[in-house]
Structure 1
């Protein structure tokens, strides 16, 4: 007898697609944040509560809070609780028939995932889930309560028979969390399966999140910020930051694009166009274009793919560590992104998915490994052959397209970069004068060795006319590495005579190299001296015509500004204005007077044009010289010490405003009885952080909450100094805060942190 049978689904399915599929806590959070992005959120906050040992008894929690579209009752019932369903899959299918850019434009963003199981990452993190969600056009907050343990009680129970508690209320505030929800979704995960969230693990999470989205792929207009909030680690963050450790847990997670870090090194860009017809390659060395090439794409399964690959020499590694606060090897190597979202684990420390380290062991000096390279491979548009494995930590399914991608990377990108950077290509070392024809011929020959068969009619090539000079300098830079190679040959020398011969050659080689190095250092010193041209002269020049013109010019501008403010005050008085309207205008007069007083103190010392409001110079140098040569001369009893004063921070800034900030802070130190000032510089996230501390009496607990308020003073002063400082800084996007008294590593008195943009 024939009959039709149905599948039954065991409640054990929850484990298979939940905690057993997503086996890593970081990837679980990664998946949930991706869901927030797909819900058109502009910001998502990852909050950790009661995770330190002393607080765990209160109940450790993880909250994922976003301001996305939110869900209705129907969305919860027919989408979120529908296992395997994904709106994203419908969208991705649409990309197959519609124009890629038009489709993204309709939805605002291209989606990150399409399997409909990412929500089960909640099970990986904790046993209990409370979900709160609200759509902007509804006055209802929907709430789901899930106890994942219920699915584990009896595997014979059918999945769909286990009920999930739902309730709703018409308030916008979630009282249990003390959060007002206007729109978006909150996931509250408790009874954590792994409650060991220490500092190192939270920092690792932050690094994961830094690489979630590739801004250059999704576009700058897709605003999306991730915040990490673990208040229990706030004090530790402050301590680490003051000790020079840039990595902190709390705050915005910055998406890092290597080329925006300002590190000049050799890199190659390679792109297959959207139709899969052409490959475009560009090689750049420290900002200088070397060549660009157009050729036919022979990889029939590949299209709409871009690769950026950077070579990390010692200088680039050092600069990266200084800017980022961690070594490149710990950040990762070559990442894979699909439509702007990272695919794990490619690029993680220890993941050799491109076989670079394995290959390097076969030809140690000729090949580059993961430690020497950083970059990304970007897959764009509808690419069904590059689907992620469901476990989310095993990359993509291995298809013919994947194998072609590996070959494309190796042959068209990696080998070309290696040939330029690593291999000792033959070049004409002669200093004879070359004709334009000879320069072109030699340049093409050099490129031919890098890309192969330049004269092939299927290839179009353009090159830098200074290519030979650039390459000659590159060869000189490689000398120290070549010496190491020769030294390593000694262990293979069969006799002592041959070892002696190698030693002799090395001595002469090192001697010649030292002469070159000395010359190079001398030139660098000369160059550095021109860059560090003093901003203030050690002695005042005589009150000559230029000084008087500059001073008169500034006095005229300030007097005009004061006249205008006085007119405004008179007008306010005539209109019967009250004191609260007039006081800010009096503050402005005070500020203009400060400008005149400060300018008159340094105009005869300044080596820059004081008539110009804004200059582009090294801000650290300006601050150090102003304190050394202006303030110290004015007040010889005040000793000033500096830390990290050799860092360079070239920016446009207003000298008068910086001077007013410094003068007001020093004036406060004097009033607190200070005789010593300690100034520490830090360059962090493209901002200059200035820590100014003194050995005075400090700020008492009551005063610290009011010191930036207009009129507040503990002395006989006006009480508008720090108020002015804060206003000036905030007007340019900067900030100032009092961080405490007797801060470790600084002076025992008050310490202020000034952030200059």
Structure 2
């Protein structure tokens, strides 16, 4: 018994397997590349696309036994160029091409990509040195009429051509695809051009013998050569790591905007990687701007790390949304520790010509995960990404934010020309030697030049010395020895310098203390000055006595009311009490205020103003208020809260809180001042009688009191706070233990 093959096979390995028209064109261009073509033309006409190359072409035998032999690959069988290599008839042509160039395809089904593009295919092939050409005509619809019909029963028309209609066609293949299945407008052709520009390995096309050009002709007959975009990008001045994997060694070179960081060599322990390279670029802000100017597209929309197998690109690696290498998944674990595809670009170039590096059949699914692929994946992570990342994160990202931003906006190395950055670089090189067992081939000896301008670090010098001896750089060794002499000379003079510095520090500290005292005296003078001292003190006593009588008699007046006072009466009494309190407050600090008392507003640091008022009038040796059994304290944060205030409002507020605590039989009273989120906070806490829970909402009402007071003090405090813009007051109390008032003032 034998297998039977349905004509439906055409769809399975053709239009169903190819994801889109662009990939179909790529597959056909790959065939031209594998045929040793140096040029392929893609011509767009109305309802027809022609793909023409100047490769080795095909004979009638090739058509029968290779092109029409489904899934057979002479490339994989190593018989593709057998005749070309041995037959003397092809000597001249053989000398023009590079037979060592690897094959981009080897699955034997790429020819069915034409089915994705159009219904009809006309193939014209002319072998090198042949006089005649051969033509095949395929109608893909013939394979779709009846799936019961066997694949091999469907005929393909063959014609031998003695002459053909194409000029300058000495050898190669022409594919005419007609009855197109989708429209190719300008936008679609432009997208194809962008993709084709990244299709060929830029390193391959730099070699003359490997030169491969793609030209596109649109219906307006303009011929345009497709340039290789990646080649231009690799010239950007940015941080770049280049790796060459050879038979026995792996060579790596790290540069930062033209400055060599290190060049290293290590043993190649990989079994399947013997001729592979990796180029990886980190794009800082400046590099991204230059990229956009150069490519007319943002880097994030261009792509990232592209993989080339035997000179041809493998999809989807490097597409803008692709994360086949897992870089972005890892980046999510720590944005400040790991790089992402948004700031990386480069290429992985596999030239192994091995079954270990084969594409999956579904054209855009990457490489098959063989042992060779696993080695490639590990190499990329361990030798490329992590090492580049170590440099970027440890040296560039570790800078102060301002300096880091300047470095990110720079396309040269100058910002990193400092001791801290250089020390970080030397640490990286040292770790490579110690941990990864690599040999340092070269690095930028200019690190040592910093020592000509500033005191060198013995630690850095020691590390450099070890590296210099490893590299056997005698010039650097001599310079390090000279540097060590400088260190000893500096150390001898260091003792005298330390003494001078200590003396200068002490003088500076004393100046700072004097400045604090002077600043304090700017608002409140520490003592009365002049011959009128006794007269002023006497006047203060009289004012306080009179204001106290006003307060006391106002309380007595309230008690004479047989009914609750009217709102107007409350207003008058409140004004009398408030003004009497202000008069008393003026008497307290009239001799110490270093500002005009008639001024409505002054601009001050409110934290310092309140603290100094309490300290000078209630806590200093020269305090002028009556002694009290209440222990008073004030603490303040170092934060400033500069604002315009009416000084009498603030001082009256403080005086009222102090008097209120005394009436509540408080043993201690604390003022705590601070600034948080641009809000001034004053906490006034005492251990007096406290407030019952049911009375919390009433304490600010006019006339309400639980002591022998008038019930006006807290009402006055509430009114003062309410009159201020952006201010409020709240209270919490535990009866018999603690009461805290919280005043908030916003700018």
Short-chain TM bin: 0.5 to 0.7
Aligned to 1:732: none
* 8 A Cα contact 1:448 1:454, kept in partner: no
Shift of 1:161: 0.9
Aligned residue for 1:455, secondary structure, equals: helix
Does the 8 Å CA contact 2:358/2:367 hold for their aligned counterparts? yes
Change (3 A) 1:363 1:299: farther
Quote the Cα distance in structure 1 between the aligned partners of 2:306 and 2:446.
33
**Are the structure 2 counterparts of residues 465 and 391 from structure 1 closer, same or farther at C-alpha, using a change threshold of 3 Å?**
same
CA displacement at 1:232 relative to structure 2 = 4.1
Displacement after TM superposition at 1:44 (Å): 0.8
Match of 1:77 in 2: 64
Asked if the contact 2:103/2:353 (under 8 Å) is kept, the reply is: no
Cα separation, partners in 2 of 1:203 and 1:259, compared to 1, 3 Å: closer
Paired residue secondary structure (2:208): coil
Task: Identify the match of residue 413 of structure 1 among 384, 393, 399.
Answer: 384
CA distance in structure 1 between the partners assigned to 2:79 and 2:338 by the alignment: 39
Match of 1:645 in 2: none
- Per-residue CA deviations over 1:385-409 (Å, capped at 9, x if unaligned) read 2110012110011123323322322
Aligned position for 1:169? 161
Partner residue in 2 for 1:127: 119
Alignment of 1:222-261 (within 5 A): 222-232=210-220, 251-258=224-231
Matches within 5 A, 1:300-339: 300-339=271-310
Question: Alpha-carbon deviations, 1:554-587, whole Å to 9, x = none?
Answer: xxxxxxxxxxxxxxxxxxxxxxxxxxxxxxxxxx
- The answer to whether structure 1 residue 395 and structure 2 residue 366 are counterparts is yes
Deviations 1:178-199 (A, max 9, x none): x55332211111111122x222
CA contact (8 A) 1:48 1:62 kept: yes
Matches within 5 A, 1:418-497: 418-423=389-394, 446-449=425-428, 452-455=431-434, 458-461=437-440, 462-467=442-447
1:321 and 1:445 map into 2 onto residues whose CA distance is: 31
User: What does 1:532-611 align with in structure 2 at a 5 Å threshold?
Assistant: none
Task: Report deviation, 1:314.
Answer: 1.9
Residue pair 1:139, 1:172 contacting (<8 A) in 2 also: no
1:686-731, Cα deviation, whole Å (9 max, x unpaired): xxxxxxxxxxxxxxxxxxxxxxxxxxxxxxxxxxxxxxxxxxxxxx
Name the count of aligned residue pairs: 428
Q: Distance in 2 between matches of 1:412 and 1:499?
A: 47
> Which residue in the other structure is 2:27 paired with?
31
Alignment of 1:165-244 (within 5 A): 165-174=157-166, 179=167, 181-195=169-183, 197-217=184-204, 219-232=207-220
CA contact (8 A) 1:227 1:251 kept: yes
Residues 134 and 160 in structure 2, CA contact (< 8 A), matched pair in contact too: yes
Greater gyration radius = 2
2:105 is equivalent to residue 113 of structure 1:
yes
Q: TM-score, normalised by structure 1?
A: 0.52
| Aligned-residue RMSD, C-alpha | 3.4
Deviation (angstroms), 1:468: 7.1
Q: CA deviation at 1:289?
A: 1.0
Counterparts of 1:440 and 1:422 in 2: how far apart (Å)? 17
Please give the secondary structure, in 2, of the residue aligned with 1:173.
coil
Distance 1:457 1:216 in 2: 28
Question: Aligned partners of 1:441 and 1:290: how far apart in 2?
Answer: 15
| Equivalent of residue 372 in structure 1, options 343, 347, 350 | 343
1:17 aligns with 2:13: yes
In 2, Cα distance between the equivalents of 1:370 and 1:391? 24
For 1:47, which of 35, 43, 48 is the aligned residue?
43
Aligned-residue offset at 1:339? 1.7
CA distance in 2, matches of 1:498, 1:304: 63
Offset of 1:500 from its aligned partner?
Answer: 6.5
| CA offsets 1:288-333 (integer angstroms, 9 cap, x no match) | 1111122234555543321110111122122222222222222211
Q: Take 1:253 and 1:75, find their aligned partners in 2: how far apart are those partners?
A: 30
Would the alpha carbon gap of residues 258 and 36 (structure 1) be closer, same or farther in structure 2, given more than 3 Å must change? closer
Structure 1 residues 286 and 184, CA gap change in structure 2 (3 angstroms): same
- C-alpha distance in 1 between matches for 2:43 and 2:97: 32
Shift of 1:9: 1.2
Contact 1:92/1:382 (8 A) holds in 2 = no
- CA apart distance, 1:130: 0.9
Check if 1:356 corresponds to 2:327. yes
Q: Paired residue for 1:137?
A: 129
Contact 2:327-2:341 within 8 A present in 1 as well: yes
**How many angstroms apart in 2 are the aligned matches of 1:466 and 1:120?**
58
Give the Cα separation in 1 of the matches to 2:8 and 2:221: 37
With over 3 angstroms needed to count, the CA separation of the structure-2 counterparts of 1:457 and 1:74, relative to structure 1, is closer
The answer as to whether partners of 2:246 and 2:273 remain within 8 angstroms in 1 is no
Tell me how far 1:258 sits from its aligned partner. Answer: 3.8
- For 1:445 and 1:261, locate their aligned partners in 2 and report how far apart those are by CA, in whole Å: 26
8 Å contact kept, 2:56–2:128: yes
Q: 5+ unaligned residues in a row in structure 1: which ranges?
A: 51-59, 235-249, 430-438, 472-495, 502-757
* Rounded Cα–Cα distance in structure 2 between residues aligned with 1:310 and 1:12: 46
